[in-house]
Amino acid sequence: MTAEFESLAGMLLILLSITCIVQVIFVGLLLWYVRRMAEALAGARAGAAVAPAPVAGPAPATGLPAKEEAVPAGPVPESPAPAGPAVDIIGGSQDIQESIRRLCGKYSLSDLIITTLDGLVVVSLRPGSSEEAARFSDLYRRKKRPDSPGVSFLEIIHRGEPMLVIARSDRVPDPDRLKAIGEDARKILDWWL
């Protein structure tokens, strides 16, 4: 009888040890997740505190670029022009990719990526653009200029969440055109997502 009791006590001790280890792992994961969410909220609050006035040219020395502000990287800005020809970017499109293609055609963009501020690709025309999206969103969060010529950053809000539009063109769009690109990108997200 004593041997059975010792065997049962040993099994219970092992089971209790395993349960404690699993709980410690879950608590560690929970703390990591809470810290990530707190950092994301702090970044979103910092972005919301910046004035939303669009400005062309270099980014301010402090603070995130204003919402819907381009941070040009080299090319000469194009002369003021209408926001783009009347192109229906949503009607008749088979999917979100086709709407993005139409937006690129409307504004003469060579590429457009929409990503979360932490670099998760929401929509892109090119496969394998997740590394590029992560790199550019990191630059944007660190308030750095794009490190590729012809790239502009544009922050938009979709369903209360900030999103980063990464637009690539031969020429840097003027502030009015960037604002129109942002409005059309927001319309596409609202329609398809």
**Domain limits of the chain?**
1-49, 52-193
CA atoms of 135 and 66, how far apart (whole Å): 20
CATH of domain 52-193: 3.30.450
Residue 42 pLDDT > 60, yes or no?
A: yes
CA atoms of 135 and 164, how far apart (whole Å): 12
Residue 45 pLDDT > 80, yes or no?
A: no
Range of weakest confidence among 13-17, 68-72, 135-139, 174-178: 68-72
> What is residue 175's predicted lDDT score, i.e. its pLDDT?
84
Q: Which of 68-77, 93-102, 165-174 has the highest mean pLDDT?
A: 93-102
- Report whether 175 contacts 65 (CB < 8 A): no
> What is residue 144's predicted lDDT score, i.e. its pLDDT?
87
Residue 6 pLDDT > 70, yes or no?
A: yes
3-state secondary structure of 114: strand
Percent of the chain with pLDDT over 90: 16
pLDDT band at 102 (very low <50, low <70, confident <90, very high): very high
> What is residue 75's predicted lDDT score, i.e. its pLDDT?
46
Q: Answer with the residue of higher pLDDT: 151 or 58.
A: 151
Under 8 Å CB-to-CB from 153, ≥6 apart: which residues?
A: 65, 69, 70, 71, 136, 139, 140, 146, 164, 165, 166
CA atoms of 4 and 157, how far apart (whole Å): 65
> What is residue 70's predicted lDDT score, i.e. its pLDDT?
46
Mean of the per-residue pLDDT values for the chain?
A: 77
Q: Answer with the residue of higher pLDDT: 44 or 149.
A: 149
What average pLDDT does range 163-170 have in this prediction?
A: 90
Under 8 Å CB-to-CB from 13, ≥6 apart: which residues?
A: none
